[in-house]
A = this chain, B = another copy of it.
Amino acid sequence: MTSQHDGAFDRMDQVQARARGIDRVVEILEFLRASRRPIGIGDLAKRIAAPRSSLYEIIGRLTEAGILETVDQEGRVFFGRAVYLYADAYLDSQPLVRNGRDEVIRLAETTGETAQLCMLIGNKYTVAHMQPGSNLFRISSETGILVPIPWTASGRLLLAGMSEAQIRALIPPEDYRLPDGRRIEIEDFLHDVRDAHARGFAVTTALADEFTTCLAAPVVDATDRPVATICFVIPARTPEDRQAELMEKLIAGGRAVSRQLRG
């Protein structure tokens, strides 16, 4: 039907070229990561716009490998045990995440506050590990969700060492708009980044969430570039001296993890 003369158009409108199996795999995994819950194959086909017949085939193969698992008798699928093993191997190879996570657990235990290990993935920010504190205060952020860098205190620290031009190139304009609609001025943000770098820590209040303050300290590699942050998520009205005390522990913790990276 689609004849010779509109080939170019076809490409533009419907990128309906037959997809590669690997691309399907990536789409599936990415979808599951984002939605964080099991889904039926038919449903999934609609959501990622893939033909059902292909998905049955691909998911069958992934299930066989243990990368996916059939969750219930309605045939819903989700991540399988294999990914747990992959991640375990990954952690073994990454002293950063392993040590950082231990430190975060320790901090959460000794202070009772919610602590996190945060890092960048591409041009987004994510919480790699979260350890809830014993306090009643509920936090909103979830592990693994990708968040615009300007929304976070940690994001400001993680950009330390990048040039202004690099930062401008990295962060898409829409990421400067906060969840409540406010906009962060790029100049202000760049200033924050320089500031965070100079001080060696960052604090933000009521940024992504109205009642939350975030304290962050950097973890740096052997060349002093920030590779992660550890941070506390606390009620905005936490007393000054308590905040100072927490910040001190955070900086010490960040230094400890950084030291382990060098050794």
Known contacts A32-B86, A67-B29, A90-B84; A22 and B23 CB within 8 A of each other: no
Size class of the contact patch on chain A: 35 or more
Residue of B whose beta carbon sits closest to that of A24: B22
A237 close to chain B: CB less than 8 A: no
Is residue A91 within 8 Å, beta carbon to beta carbon, of the partner chain?
yes
Q: Flag if B36 contacts A92 (CB, 8 Å).
A: yes
By a beta-carbon cutoff of 8 Å, the part of chain A in contact with chain B is 20-23, 25-26, 29-30, 32-33, 36-38, 58, 61-62, 65-67, 71, 78-93, 97, 119, 121-122, 126, 128, 143-144
CA distance in complex: A128, B252 (Å): 30
Q: In the complex, what residue of chain B is closest to A120 when comparing beta carbons? A: B81
A97–B89 CA distance with the chains assembled, in angstroms: 17
Is B30 a contact of A65 with CB atoms below 8 Å?
yes
Docked complex Cα distance between A119 and B87 (Å): 17
Q: A61-B26, A144-B85 are in contact. Are A121 and B66 (CB under 8 A)?
A: yes
Identify which of B32, B61, B143 contacts A22 (C-beta below 8 A).
B61
Give Cα A32–Cα B65 distance, bound, in whole angstroms: 14
In the complex, A66→B32 CA distance in Å? 15
Q: How far is the CA of A89 from the CA of B78 in the complex (A)?
A: 9
Q: Do the beta carbons of A91 and B82 come within 8 Å of each other?
A: no
Partner of A21, one of B22, B32, B119: B22
Q: 6 new A-B pairs (CB below 8 Å) besides A33-B82, A66-B122, A83-B86?
A: A22-B22, A22-B58, A81-B119, A81-B121, A82-B121, A83-B83
Q: Which of A30, A62, A86, A91 has the most CB of B within 10 A?
A: A86
A126 touches B32 (CB 8 A): no
Residue of B26, B62, B89, B143 near A32 (CB, 8 A) is B89
Q: How far is the CB of A128 from chain B (nearest CB, A)?
A: 7
A58 to B121, alpha carbons, bound, how many Å?
20
CB-CB < 8 A to A30: which residues of B?
65, 82
Also in contact, A93 and B26, with CB within 8 A (given A83-B83, A86-B83): no
Which chain B residues border A87 with CB–CB below 8 Å? 79, 83-84, 86-88
